[in-house]
A and B are shown apart, each in its own frame.
Chain A
Amino acid sequence: MFDTIMAALGEAFHLIISGNHEVYSIVWRSLGVSGLATLLACLWGIPIAIALGLYSFPGKKLLMSLSNAFLGIPTVALGLLLFLLWSQSGPLGFMSLLYTPIGIAIGQSILITPILVSFTSSALNSTDVEMSDLAKTLGASTFQTNFAIIREALWAILLAVTASFSRAFAELGVAMMVGGNIRNVTRVLTTFIALETAKGEIAFSLALGIILMAIILSITLLLNYCRRE
């Protein structure tokens, strides 16, 4: 056990400095796909979160419960659903999204939307009361008040975005079912790890896992560093 982990650490280090072409291209693809997924999720997730966090409207409770319920959606189930929808024999087969990186990104963006919405709206909610009173008493309109709150919650929102990205980056189900793990096309870090594990390349898989964790950790640390600055 210990030997395997040491071997994996060595392998990970070797992969990083030797510039292994395949590993690097897979890492870049993973970053691109999950980055796009995060961008897409922000596009609709942040407005929903702002609505949930700062406004009252009918159906708000229901929407929040839904969003919380989908926090733990099994990635394979979502992947399977999208597979059936996007299959040539499925209702959305004409979109040609199956086995494409864009398809994975869309699937992951759906997967992480509840996380983004929940984290962001609760960040806005917890900033709300005192800050909003302060902004109002200094003369801000409702819109200006909300803008101030969003600005105030910016780091918490960025943290929510980062957490969402990490979830997308580290998920396997959607990438495998929708992407199909096709080499040089849709193979991302997690599906690569699954494959190498299935092949019995334990140390190599673990090394890839270490790289995955290192990337997520670096992004989180970078965010924390920027925040302090």
Chain B
Amino acid sequence: MAKPQNQRLIVSTTTSLYETGLLDVLETEFEKKHSSIDVAFLSQGTGLAIQTAMRGDADMILVHDPARELKFLQDGYGVNRKVIAYNFFVIVGPKEDPVGINGLSPVQALTKIKGAGKNGSVEWVSRGDDSGTHTKEKRLWTAGGFSVSDLREKSWYLEAGQGMTATLKLTDEKLAYTLCDLGSYLNNYKKGNIQLEVLVEEGEDTLNVYSAIANNPKHFDLSGTSFNASIRFLDFLISEETQEILADFGNEEFDSPLFNPYIPLLASGSNPEMLQWIQELAYFDGTECPQECRYQEGDLYR
């Protein structure tokens, strides 16, 4: 039970992470260890999650959009970024797969979908909400040599402008295709919300990396932030126990883990290819957090 003198730690995070239920598990575990801290999660799109933190209405962020994370750090709002976990985006579509993208690479699949869309035989659903998932989708189209602003004018390119679950339902109803993080997909599939199948699986292009960043207490607007609690939470996230929880999460309910812990991967060096992918995507000049964006980091980067 929350006691009034407890410190409050507000973490603004993305809907795709929140909707899986992982954060509830983490909250319980964390509060067991730190009974004087109450954790509250704000589930928002990545854009708003970062804005909320910048206004001082949250103490830290847990998001998946490296480019915007870097900007958050560089603008002086965030310190002590840690890469926590990763998984993959998948392209999902109707079981019958009318376009025939099963087993293709993401870019090949998008190219084929665009061709079919032109003929009016299928639709693509975009999150269209500037979320981390949306950013990833735009990067995939761009990687295939397509202009997103041209695509937006096509009638087969639908922009949902909603969270992942709503977007999946829309895709399901329309028998269309969409890009989705694996966690949200499995969550909705197992609940019977959708009949969509995963058609394009993991690859370098669809890597999805989650990071946590504490608010910078030295920033003028953020002096009231619960910095100590943020550091505790960061320590907690990268601890062995928590990383194990991450690795197990979803096994029971979805017969498949939703996330892969990053710390063991980094420590063991057992999968250099994956490590390289992650660092190419989510490291800035070879580091997960530039030196000048660290503050009282303690053992975080040992």
Contacts and interface: CB of A to CB of B under 8 A. Distances in A.
Interface bracket on A: 20 to 34
B48 A197 contact: yes
A91 interface: no
B166 interface: yes
A183 interface: yes
Contacts of B152: 183
Nearest to B155: A184
A180 B48 contact: no
A214 interface: no
Chain B contact residues: helix, strand, loop or mixed: mixed
Given A182-B161, A187-B161, A199 B47 contact: yes
Contacts of A185: 158
A12 interface: no
Contact of A200 (B47, B163, B170, B172): B47
Interface string B107-144: 00000000000000000000011110000000000000
A181 interface: yes
A182 B50 contact: no
B173 interface: yes
B173 A98 contact: yes
Nearest to A177: B166
A197 B131 CA distance: 12
Contacts of B170: 99, 180, 182
Contacts of B131: 198
Given A185-B158, A195-B129, A198-B129, A180 B166 contact: yes
B45 interface: yes
A199 B158 contact: no
Contact of A87 (B162, B163, B173): B173
A181 B45 contact: no
Chain A contact residues: helix, strand, loop or mixed: loop
Contact of A181 (B44, B48, B161, B173): B161
B51 interface: yes
B159 interface: yes
Given A180-B166, A197-B48, A99 B174 contact: yes
Could you say which of B131, B159, B172 has the most chain A C-beta atoms within 10 Å of its C-beta?
B159
Interface in A59-96: 87-88
B233 to A, nearest CB: 22
Given A88-B173, A180-B170, A183-B128, A195 B161 contact: yes
B113 to A, nearest CB: 17
A198 B159 CA distance: 14
B48 A200 contact: yes
Nearest to B50: A200
B160 interface: yes
Contacts of A164: none
Given A191-B161, A200-B45, A99 B51 contact: no
A107 to B, nearest CB: 16
A99 B160 CA distance: 10
Nearest to A4: B55
Contacts of A184: 155, 159
A67 B172 CA distance: 35
A193 B39 CA distance: 29
Nearest to A181: B161
Interface string B32-65: 0000000000001101111110000000000000
Contacts of B129: 195, 198-199
Contacts of A117: none
B160 A198 contact: no
Contact of B160 (A87, A180, A197): A180
Contacts of A180: 160, 162, 166, 170
Contacts of A15: none
Interface string B158-186: 11111100100010111000000000000
Contact of B159 (A88, A183, A197, A200): A183
Given A87-B173, A99-B173, A99-B174, A200 B51 contact: yes
Contacts of B173: 87-88, 98-99
19 contacts: A98-B173, A99-B170, A99-B173, A180-B166, A181-B161, A182-B158, A182-B161, A183-B158, A183-B161, A184-B155, A184-B159, A185-B158, A187-B159, A197-B48, A198-B47, A198-B131, A199-B130, A200-B130, A201-B47
Given A199-B130, A200-B51, 13 more contacts: A98-B173, A180-B170, A181-B161, A182-B158, A182-B159, A191-B161, A195-B128, A195-B129, A195-B161, A199-B45, A199-B129, A200-B52, A202-B51
Nearest 6 pairs of A and B residues by beta carbon = A200-B51, A183-B159, A200-B47, A195-B161, A200-B48, A181-B161
Interface of B: 44-45, 47-52, 128-131, 152, 155, 158-163, 166, 170, 172-174
Interface of A: 87-88, 98-99, 176, 180-185, 187, 191-192, 194-195, 197-202
